[in-house]
Chain A
Amino acid sequence: MNTAGRWLHSERNSPVALISRPRRRRNAIVCFSLLLSLLSLIPVCSAQQTHPTVFQVESAYLYNFGKFVKWPPDRVASSDSLQICVLGQDPFGATLDSTVAGEKIDGRDVTVRRLSTMEAASPCDILFISASDVAHLGNILAIAQRSGALTVSDIPHFAERGGTIGFVLQQGRIRFEVNRAAAAQAHLTLSSELLKVASRVINKTPRNGEP
């Protein structure tokens, strides 16, 4: 009692004086322990396998969409390659090329092309629209629809905004939403398997890119 009283008296003006010294030390130990135990979780998880990147999964999806979407037969007959185009800032890099290298879908070679504008986009069968081009989305979708391309993107609410397939990140996994009306307007048939796996199927008339 006397020691505590003397201590408090000498540090009267300090707010820390309201907490006795043994308690402060205890607080310090608790804090530090919590911090250490949090930090300890980091080495645990890097010891496990590293996960694939978003773009590896999306590249695999783009390749697979070619198998589960039907283009009009006269379009398929008139070209011997299935073209995947990336419009805008390319997030895939070599990943997309290596994913489709040497592959064929329905007897057609799968090729990848990069575009900066929609001018040369008419031969594109699958058009991935980069988020860098979100400002001109309405225009892009209108042109893509007329040329019969399957539009895919990771722009937020893409399928709502009139795109055909929009990637969404759900709890660390890449899923996709599908807009059937948009597919129909581009004369595309989506296989029932694709629709079954989609996390959301929208039937609305596309609103030409507006959020």
Chain B
Amino acid sequence: MKNLWRWLFPTFQLFSTFQSSVIVVVAATVWFAAWPAMASTEQLKTSLESNNNPVRDLTLEQLGNVQVTTVTKEPEEVWDTSAAIYVITQEDIQRSGATSIADVLRLAPGVEVGRIDSDTWAVGIRGSESNFSKAVLVLIDGRSVYTPLFAGVYWDVQDVLLEDIDRVEVIRGPGATVWGPNAADGVINIITKKASETQGVMVSVLGGNVDHMITEAQYGGSRGQNFNYRVYGKGFLRAPEFHTDHNNFDDWNQARGGFRADWDINSRNEFTLDGDMYGGDFPHETGPNAFVDSVSGGDMLGRWTRTMEDGSNMYLQAYFDRTIRIGPLSGETRNTIDIDFLHHLKFGDRQDVSYGGGLRWSPNRYIPKTPVLSVVPETNVDHIYSGFLQDEIHFADDRFTLTLGAKLQHNNFSGFDAQPTARGLWKLNQHQSLWAAVTRAVTTPSRIEEGIQINAGEISAAPPIFLVVSGNPHFQSETSLGYEGGYRQLLTSKLYVDLDVFHNDYDNLQSFGAPTLIGNDLTIFYENAIAGATNGVEIAPTWAPQPWWKLSGSYSYVGIDLHANAPGSDISSTGSVNTYEGSSPAHQVKIQSRFDISKRFQFDQTYWYESALPAQKVRAYQTMDLRLGWNPTKEWNLSLVSQNLFQPSHFEWGTGDPSELPIGIRRAAYVKLSYRAER
């Protein structure tokens, strides 16, 4: 019992004695006052199920004012999917009080998010949490935000107006064949609302102790019936997190602007154009020294979607993305040009076939600033060519669906890779379904893994020996074979549950080789010498006990068992058995509770428990965010949010320097005022 207590409350310092007494008294009063005799719900139920519809004779206007018991339906978008998918809705985002995309992702089961400092996060899915976010494919409206520089995501420059997000689809497990490369552990697809859904003026201002200022302004308009657009601007200023060494280097700021235009050419053709530009700074730390990089970039994407009369559709998409990051230690400029095509058609009575392909060229230049760090060759064109084919076959009146697919891709680092998948879905009845899948996925090498040169200094004077960490031109793709399955059931009209299990076999995971003496250089090469497996389970129930109270949450477990096939070195926040196994939380518990107190007031709580990350020097922690929202009129909203409530600060992820303590993520509070007037 004592150990359970310690497990539940490792560092729980909440209220002073006085505050605690007040809370206990208030709670006791509420509890005793709210304990009436319970009416028999059975009697009420039968009267409603009897012949007469109690609301039949109401007028149209009266019908619109009736409070209904909301049924938790099988969520349509996930019911027919043979993958572990979770959809974060705009309402989830709004009521969580999150202020960045990486923080929004915390809401999904199986997704691991650790804030490193004010401007960096480690994100992963099912055991892959790392500051590189390597094996997770992240897309914003179809544009991949993955960088081949280190095979990962720069989360600091991935931003949209969170109010414009329609939903975030999180697919855990090897991304289905249709998605792009490097989806070995999952796909995060951020989809923004159409321009027709963001019409009118929206202005919002936020101020707090850590998120110092976030200002957003947006205008949406239209020309005629079929052309809608929006333009937006956003700027923010964020304070440093808590540093035990008082080196508060990570305050940062960024500004961005952009637009989206949607044109319904006729009822069968649709065209979308969107673009963004941003600029800001990116402070970071190496050892005791802090540096500030300047970041800027922009992107433009166009997509043409065509629907045919028989229900088949196709799209053609092209985008250009430019990123510039320059600082005292290093710099990179990168242009990405990507063209994608997909055609989905019906083949006979029972088959849905999709095929398509894509080309991505990414000419880039690495700018060395110090002799310590360089990437070879400095100028390069990274490319990926891919093609895929998928067939979905429906049996027994659509109760069984078998999906077979394969993606073939070629990249400049490691040549050809094949990613086949086989999936099955069985709908047992209207409220239960079962699915299983086997998929092979690869993570392509990055520029760093192939060509980095770190001259770490002289380690011996006589004879002179220099320590070098070197990329490996023969670095291979990491591979995984994933076996997964899931079960979904609508248990009652108010309770829905989603259960998923998985086992992934990994091979050729990135490692650092044992030091080899080559001339005067003691060299540590990037190798592919780690292999093993991960296992896990996720259970995510959604429960609406009352029309005004919705609870959703998840428990997930990941077990990582890896081994090295050759002797290696443990020199970084990734790349060793120790860091892989000790950088993902074995257990995660997430709970989101939403109260609609009245027509105008909302009170929301979000709770997390994350178990320890020993390789990152992070203890197990639990914390909570609270939000109180008030809509005095339809147009105005005032929200008070407090975050990370349980401790003054807590650690979520290490700095990568084993001699340093992680940076503390602070307890925070902010006020947000927003105005929205639709046309």
B39 and A46 within 8 A (CB): yes
Question: Which one of A54-62, A73-81, A120-128 contacts B?
Answer: A54-62
Q: A15-B619, A47-B39 are in contact. Are A27 and B9 (CB under 8 A)?
A: yes
Residues of B within 8 A of A51 (CB): 66-69, 547
Q: Which of B264-300 contact A (CB under 8 A)?
A: 264, 267-268, 270
Q: Which of A25-82 contact B (CB under 8 A)?
A: 26-30, 33-34, 36-37, 40-57, 59-61, 63-64, 68
Residues of A within 8 A of B14 (CB): 27, 30
User: Does A175 lie at the interface of the complex (its beta carbon under 8 Å from any beta carbon of B)?
Assistant: yes
Further 8 A-B residue pairs, CB within 8 A, beyond A47-B37, A51-B66: A14-B6, A29-B20, A40-B31, A47-B36, A142-B309, A171-B596, A197-B60, A204-B226
A37 and B60 within 8 A (CB): no
Interface SS, B side: loop
User: Does B516 lie at the interface of the complex (its beta carbon under 8 Å from any beta carbon of A)?
Assistant: no
B60 and A173 within 8 A (CB): no
Residues of A within 8 A of B196 (CB): 160, 204
B264 and A19 within 8 A (CB): no
Most buried by A among B31, B226, B596: B31
In the complex the two chains form, what is the Cα distance from A59 to B54 in whole Å?
A: 11
B267 and A30 within 8 A (CB): no
Residues of B within 8 A of A68 (CB): 60
Q: Which of B7-42 contact A (CB under 8 A)?
A: 9-15, 17, 20, 23-24, 26-28, 30-31, 34-39, 41
Residues of B within 8 A of A18 (CB): 11
B9 and A24 within 8 A (CB): yes
Q: Which of B45-81 contact A (CB under 8 A)?
A: 45, 48, 51-56, 58-61, 63-71, 73, 76, 80
Interface SS, A side: helix
User: Does A205 lie at the interface of the complex (its beta carbon under 8 Å from any beta carbon of B)?
Assistant: yes
In the complex the two chains form, what is the Cα distance from A197 to B264 in whole Å?
A: 28
In the complex the two chains form, what is the Cα distance from A68 to B197 in whole Å?
A: 27
User: Does B461 lie at the interface of the complex (its beta carbon under 8 Å from any beta carbon of A)?
Assistant: no
Residues of A within 8 A of B348 (CB): none
A40 and B30 within 8 A (CB): yes
Q: A27-B14, A37-B31, A56-B55 are in contact. Are A173 and B307 (CB under 8 A)?
A: no
A98 and B52 within 8 A (CB): yes
User: Does A147 lie at the interface of the complex (its beta carbon under 8 Å from any beta carbon of B)?
Assistant: no
B264 and A205 within 8 A (CB): yes
Q: A63-B56, A175-B64 are in contact. Are A52 and B48 (CB under 8 A)?
A: yes
Q: A197-B60, A205-B264, A207-B267 are in contact. Are A52 and B55 (CB under 8 A)?
A: yes
User: Does B225 lie at the interface of the complex (its beta carbon under 8 Å from any beta carbon of A)?
Assistant: yes
Contacting A210 at CB < 8 Å: which of B53, B68, B307? B307
The smallest C-beta distance from B1 to any residue of chain A, in angstroms, reads 12
Q: Which of A120-173 contact B (CB under 8 A)?
A: 131-132, 134-136, 138-139, 142, 155, 160, 162, 169, 171-173
User: Does A203 lie at the interface of the complex (its beta carbon under 8 Å from any beta carbon of B)?
Assistant: yes
A98 and B51 within 8 A (CB): yes
B45 and A57 within 8 A (CB): no
User: Does B310 lie at the interface of the complex (its beta carbon under 8 Å from any beta carbon of A)?
Assistant: yes
User: Does B204 lie at the interface of the complex (its beta carbon under 8 Å from any beta carbon of A)?
Assistant: no
A50 and B23 within 8 A (CB): no
Interface string of A191-210 (1 = CB under 8 A from B): 00110010100011111111
Q: Which of B567-602 contact A (CB under 8 A)?
A: 596, 599
Of all chain B residues, which has the CB nearest A35?
Answer: B27
A33 and B36 within 8 A (CB): no
Q: A34-B23, A53-B69, A139-B309 are in contact. Are A47 and B30 (CB under 8 A)?
A: no
Of all chain A residues, which has the CB nearest B65?
Answer: A173
User: Does A111 lie at the interface of the complex (its beta carbon under 8 Å from any beta carbon of B)?
Assistant: no
16 contacts between A and B (CB under 8 A): A15-B11, A19-B11, A19-B12, A27-B12, A27-B15, A30-B24, A43-B36, A46-B39, A50-B45, A51-B68, A52-B54, A52-B55, A53-B71, A61-B60, A138-B309, A155-B76
Residues of A within 8 A of B73 (CB): 131
In the complex the two chains form, what is the Cα distance from A174 to B547 in whole Å?
A: 12
User: Does A189 lie at the interface of the complex (its beta carbon under 8 Å from any beta carbon of B)?
Assistant: no
Q: A171-B596, A205-B267 are in contact. Are A52 and B76 (CB under 8 A)?
A: no
Most buried by A among B63, B65, B73, B196: B63
A169 and B307 within 8 A (CB): no
